[in-house]
Chain A
Amino acid sequence: MNLTDDQIERYSRQILLPHVGGIGQEKLLSAKVLIIGAGGLGSPIAAYMAGAGIGTLGIVDSDVVELSNLHRQIIYSSDDIGKKKAIAAQDRLQKVNPDTKVIPYVLRLTSENIMDIIKDYDVIVDGSDNFPTRYLVNDACILAKKALVHGAFFRFEGQAMVIKLNEGPCYRCLFPEPPPPGTVPSCQEAGILGALAGVIGLIQATETLKLILEIGEPLVGELIVFDALEMSFRKIKIPRDKDCPICGENPTITELIDYEWFCGLKADEIA
């Protein structure tokens, strides 16, 4: 791949970095990243992926843009209200960077469709908003041996980690089971500081770029816990659980399960 003059100018500030250079830029332009959820986390992640020149960017989201999304979902404008998020994101990102091919998936991930969707991507970034999807994505990425960049928030707090099979723990090693339904309020009920979603999303974006560029130390084996009110980042060690049902020594989950059932939910109860 030869960078054009326009590309050299567009990406000059990151090509200048000794860890990136022209070779790193070519890696980014050849990379395929799938973002699950184009909301509070997915919006800033998508914006920076397109900015950095990720070659192929898949965006999974079945929702439409609502007025109450705009305080944190920064890739959308008031004109997008009522449009499918994955499509509105594609329109916006294509203007940010025509080098990035955006593939929208207007659907909800299930045990039936996820393997087929993730198989074409190098890195999966989880910006979903519910436990069934998070466990589904974790298990699918372990089974498909895909790198997964996890992030989640609640009010003024956020968490992030990178999951790479055989190199560190997975989400089930960290939390073997989800909370029962009804015990954890959604952001619709609990509220969210918009900028906090940006902080966590951009930790995920940074880790994704590092994975593609193969630079630095990935956030594997550690959970970042961010507290916006005291403006602190803590890193907590997460050991691999040898008894983990999906990535342990004797896995009991060898194919995808029914995640609504696992999370104590019926499909129509998922927010």
Chain B
Amino acid sequence: MTIKVRIPQPLQKLTDGKGLIEASASDVKSLIDELEGKFPGIKDRICDQTGKIRRFINIYVNEEDIRFLQGETTSLKDGYEVSIVPAIAGGK
């Protein structure tokens, strides 16, 4: 089973500059743990101290916001694409 995970620019420092990662987790929560195993420190950037996804980062499964699906328990299947999209503010 392969899931594509899109890593945004602000987190690519932790993924050796890679913007696209392959993973095999069966839901979003275990995907974050899988990413943490491969790229230590990334979970801290995505989740707060209580393990909840930070309010300025959204996770999309096949372009749907998981806040409006099943949150962190949203299941993942072969071929799914997950995007991590943080708030950015640059404009100057």
Q: Which residues of A contact B (CB under 8 A)?
A: 37, 39-42, 63, 69, 126-131, 134, 151-159, 174-179, 184, 186-188, 190, 192, 197, 223, 225, 227, 229-230, 234-239, 241
Residue in B56, B58, B60, B88 with the greatest tally of chain A CB atoms within 10 Å: B88
Contacts of B8 in A (CB 8 A): 154, 157
Q: Is there an interface contact between B56 and A227, defined as CB atoms closer than 8 Å?
A: no
Q: Which residues of B contact A (CB under 8 A)?
A: 8-10, 19, 54-56, 58, 60, 63-65, 67-68, 83, 85-92
CB distance from B52 to the nearest CB of A (A): 12
Select B88's contact among A154, A188, A241, beta carbons within 8 Å. Answer: A154
Q: Is there an interface contact between A37 and B91, defined as CB atoms closer than 8 Å?
A: yes
Contacts of A229 in B (CB 8 A): 19
Closest to B60 in A: A236
How far apart are the CA atoms of A157 and B56 in the complex, in Å?
Answer: 16
Q: Is there an interface contact between B91 and A179, defined as CB atoms closer than 8 Å?
A: no
How far apart are the CA atoms of A187 and B9 in the complex, in Å?
Answer: 13
Select B91's contact among A127, A156, A238, beta carbons within 8 Å. Answer: A127
How far apart are the CA atoms of A37 and B91 in the complex, in Å?
Answer: 8
Residue in A129, A130, A154, A190 with the greatest tally of chain B CB atoms within 10 Å: A154
